[in-house]
Structure 1
C-alpha cells in the first residue's frame, strides 16, 4: 500500500502524524509520500519517505498554501492507494481524482474557531455552522478517523477512533526530580500560556523552574520571550516529539493549564498521557477527560487537579509534591502503570494500519499487487529535501 499523507497546518514532525501514524505505516512495510511544510519549519525529512514541500498555512495567510497543496495532491494522488489528510482546510484542496480518502479529525474544528486569535471575533461564532456543514459533507464523500471518543456526537454516522496515545516505555527512564516542572505541547492563551508564565514567577523564589517545550502562536510568542528574558520560564520552542519526551523525563511534574474552552471539553490532552508514560506526576486543570484520568480512577490518582486559571493553586501543588517524596513517587508509579496498560501506541498502531488496509482493499479502484507503480518523486526540484542519516526511530520512542 502506498499512502499519501498531507498537512499544511501542522508541523511536519507533529507527534500524531509523523511519529505515530507515518511510523506505523512504514513499520508495517507500506510506503509514504508526505506533503508538509518542511522548509517553512526547517525540517529535514526522514530518508524512508518521499517528501513534498509546501508552504505552511498560518493565521490569515492560507490561500497560497492551499493552492500549492492542491497542486501537489493532484500530482501525487493518482499514484497512491490512500490519501490521509490532517487539516480541515484541506477539504478545499482535495483533487477530484483521488484514491481512498481519509480525514484524520484532530480537534473540534467548529468549537476551536472561538479561540483562534487570527480570526476577527465577530465572525468566529457565525463560522461554526459553516464548518459543521463541511463536516457533514465530508462524511458522505470520504472515511473519517477520530482522535477522541468525544468527537462521535458531532457526526451522524459511526467512525473509528484512533486515540492520541503515546509510546510508553516498560519502565520510566528516571524517577521524578525536585527542581523543575515541564509543559509539553502547543502554546496559546487558551492552552494556559499566561498561567505558565505566572507559575514560573511564583516558583522561581523556591528554586523550581518552569520548562516550556512547544511552538507558540503569534499572540503568545512575545509573552513567552519576555518571560524568558525575565527568568520566569525556560522556553525551548518546538522540539521533535522523541527529543521532547527525553527532556521531560526526571521532572518534578508535568503540567497542563488548559482553559475552559468548548473545543477542549471532550478532548484528553495528549501531554497528560505523555507525562504519565514517563513517570511524572500530573498537575492539570479540570478539563473533564483529564480530570477523570488524573483523579477519577479507582486504582489511584496520578496527580492533582487545580482550578482553571489559578496559577497560585498550581504552584501550591508543585511545592506539595516537592515536599513529599512518597506522594510524587506514588503518583508516578500509578500514572505509568495506567499509561502502559491502556495508552501504549503500538496497540493502536496495529488497529490504525489494519483499518486503512481494509478501506483500501475494499475499494474497487485499488491496484493489484502485481501492477507496476510509477516512481514517486517530489513535486519538482525545489521540493527535494535532504535525507536524515540517523532517524533513531527503529524502536522505542518515536
Structure 2
C-alpha cells in the first residue's frame, strides 16, 4: 500500500547528502509527498520530508538493508541513489507494479580503474566488477527514468534518460559576503587523499597566515594518518578545523567570510572528466576557486564563461608539490588581498546567480510527476526495446560470488523469467544470500578504505 508519492532509497548515502537534498527539495516544490530512507541522523535529512534512517552496514548486510528499505518504501515512485538500492528497488517494483527511477551518480566502470582491489586475484576481481557494473547499468537503463549526473555517465541508452548535473541550489547557499580579516579557505565534500586532503594540509603548512575549514566525512583509510599528522604539528592543527558531515545548508554557512574554495582532486579516470558541484557552489558564494588542472573544472576557473578568471589552476602531481603550488598563491593573496577579492564579482557572475539558468532539478521533478500521471506511448514503445533479463542479473551474481572465491566469473546460460529475477535478487527462504547480497559485496568495495568513493 502506497502512502507517499515518492520514496528516495539509499543504503549507501547519508541523508545529509547534498544531491539527495536538492532532489527532495525539487520534488516537494512540485507538491509531491516524499519519504527518504537512508543512513545517518534523521535530523540531517531534507526539510519537509519524512525521513527514516538506519545504521551504516557493509557487504551482505548492506544488501539486506537495501532490501528492507525497498520492502518498507511507501512511495508510488521509488528513486534509488546507489547500485544496491537500485537492485532492491527493481525487485520491489516488479512485485508491486510501481515505477523505478535510478539515479546514477558516477561512472562506476571508470571508478574500477582507481580501485586497488580491482587488481586482486590476478585481475579477476576487476573483471567481475565490470560484470556487476554491466548488470547494474542494464537495470538502470530499464528503469522508468534513468537519471545520470553528467552526459558521459552510463548508461548512455535507456528508456528515458535525464542528465541531472550537480548544479547548485542557491536556496541552500548563503548570499556572497564580505571576506573576514583573517584569510580562510573552505573545502566541502568527501575528505580523502584522492580528493586533496594531504594537498590541503601541505598548503596550509606552507601558508601560515591562513586558516582552513573542512566539511565532510574523513575516509577511514585516511583517519589514522590525519590524526598523526595533526598531532605532530600543533600549529597546523590549530588552524585547520574539521567539522565532519553536515547538511548542505549548515555546511555552506561556512562560506560566509571565507576567502577561497579549494578543489584539489587527483588526476584519476573518474575525476578527469568530472565537474564537481562544489565548483558552482563556491562561485555562487562569491569564492574564487583553487583547483588542480583537470579539464572541465580548470576551464571554468580560467574563465571559459567569458567573465574572466575566477580563481587559479595548479598543476597535478605529487601531494607535496601541489601543496607548495597552492601555498604560493595563498601567500600572494595574503600579501595582496585586493588581487584575490577582484575575482569575487566575476565568480558570482559566472555562477547560477549570474543570469537566467534552467533549473535541472525542477525538470527532474516535473519528469517524476509525469511518471505519476501515467505512461506515455514513448515509454510503452521503449519497453519492447530494452529488457533486463534474468541472465544479466545472474551474471552479476556469479561474478560477485566467484570473485570472493578467487575463481573465474561464470556466465549462467539458463534464462529465467522476470519472476525468477525477483525471487533470486532477494535472500532465499533458508537465509542464503541472493544476488543482491552477492552484488552488494562488490559494490561495497567502491567505498571501502583503500578504494572508497
Q: TM-score w.r.t. structure 1 length? A: 0.80
**2:250 corresponds to 1:246:** no
For 1:47 and 1:209, the matched residues in 2 are separated by: 31
Instruction: Indicate conservation of the 8 Å contact 1:301/1:334, yes or no.
Output: yes
What whole-Å deviation, never above 9, does each CA across 1:195-220 have from its counterpart, x for those lacking one?
Answer: 1221222123xx11222111111111
Q: 1:199: which partner in 2?
A: 203
What whole-Å deviation, never above 9, does each CA across 1:166-198 have from its counterpart, x for those lacking one?
Answer: 133695133365422111110122112121221
For 1:124 and 1:97, the matched residues in 2 are separated by: 32
Q: 1:272: which partner in 2?
A: 279
What whole-Å deviation, never above 9, does each CA across 1:8-49 have from its counterpart, x for those lacking one?
Answer: 11111111102x1112222322111111123xx574656732
For 1:243 and 1:51, the matched residues in 2 are separated by: 18
Matches for 1:1-398 after TM superposition, within 5 Å: 2-18=5-21, 20-38=22-40, 41=41, 43=43, 45=45, 48-57=48-57, 61-76=58-73, 79-94=74-89, 95=92, 96-98=94-96, 99-116=98-115, 121=120, 122=123, 125-126=126-127, 127-151=129-153, 154-157=155-158, 159-168=161-170, 171-175=175-179, 178-204=182-208, 207-229=209-231, 230-231=233-234, 232=236, 233-297=240-304, 298-309=306-317, 310-341=322-353, 347-363=359-375
Runs of 4+ residues over 4 Å off in structure 1: 41-47, 116-124, 341-346
Alpha-carbon deviation of 1:234?
2.2
Alpha-carbon deviation of 1:346?
8.2
For 1:22 and 1:213, the matched residues in 2 are separated by: 21
The answer to which of 259-268 and 67-76 deviates more is 67-76
The answer to which of 79-88 and 172-181 deviates more is 172-181
For 2:263 and 2:168, the matched residues in 1 are separated by: 17
Instruction: Indicate conservation of the 8 Å contact 2:7/2:79, yes or no.
Output: yes
Structure 1 residues 46 and 334, CA, compared in 2 at 3 Å: closer, same or farther?
Answer: closer
Structure 1 residues 8 and 334, CA, compared in 2 at 3 Å: closer, same or farther?
Answer: same
The answer to which of 46-55 and 291-300 deviates more is 46-55
Structure 1 residues 45 and 123, CA, compared in 2 at 3 Å: closer, same or farther?
Answer: same
Q: 1:388: which partner in 2?
A: none
What SS class does the counterpart of residue 161 from structure 2 fall into?
A: coil
Instruction: Indicate conservation of the 8 Å contact 2:190/2:217, yes or no.
Output: yes
Instruction: Indicate conservation of the 8 Å contact 1:197/1:224, yes or no.
Output: no
Structure 1 residues 223 and 272, CA, compared in 2 at 3 Å: closer, same or farther?
Answer: farther
Structure 1 residues 87 and 344, CA, compared in 2 at 3 Å: closer, same or farther?
Answer: farther
Alpha-carbon deviation of 1:326?
3.0
For 1:65 and 1:14, the matched residues in 2 are separated by: 18
For 1:82 and 1:42, the matched residues in 2 are separated by: 21
Instruction: Indicate conservation of the 8 Å contact 1:55/1:65, yes or no.
Output: no
Instruction: Indicate conservation of the 8 Å contact 2:12/2:82, yes or no.
Output: yes
Structure 1 residues 316 and 284, CA, compared in 2 at 3 Å: closer, same or farther?
Answer: same
Instruction: Indicate conservation of the 8 Å contact 1:228/1:234, yes or no.
Output: no
For 1:201 and 1:17, the matched residues in 2 are separated by: 35
Alpha-carbon deviation of 1:144?
0.7
For 2:136 and 2:352, the matched residues in 1 are separated by: 37
Alpha-carbon deviation of 1:250?
1.6
Instruction: Indicate conservation of the 8 Å contact 1:174/1:250, yes or no.
Output: yes
Q: Structure 2, unaligned stretches of length 5 or more?
A: 377-453
Instruction: Indicate conservation of the 8 Å contact 1:176/1:253, yes or no.
Output: no
What SS class does the counterpart of residue 160 from structure 1 fall into?
A: strand
Alpha-carbon deviation of 1:97?
2.3
Structure 1 residues 140 and 26, CA, compared in 2 at 3 Å: closer, same or farther?
Answer: closer
The answer to which of 223-232 and 168-177 deviates more is 168-177
Instruction: Indicate conservation of the 8 Å contact 2:187/2:261, yes or no.
Output: yes
For 1:10 and 1:325, the matched residues in 2 are separated by: 39
Structure 1 residues 117 and 33, CA, compared in 2 at 3 Å: closer, same or farther?
Answer: farther
The answer to which of 336-345 and 101-110 deviates more is 336-345
Q: Structure 1, unaligned stretches of length 5 or more?
A: 365-398
Alpha-carbon deviation of 1:341?
4.4
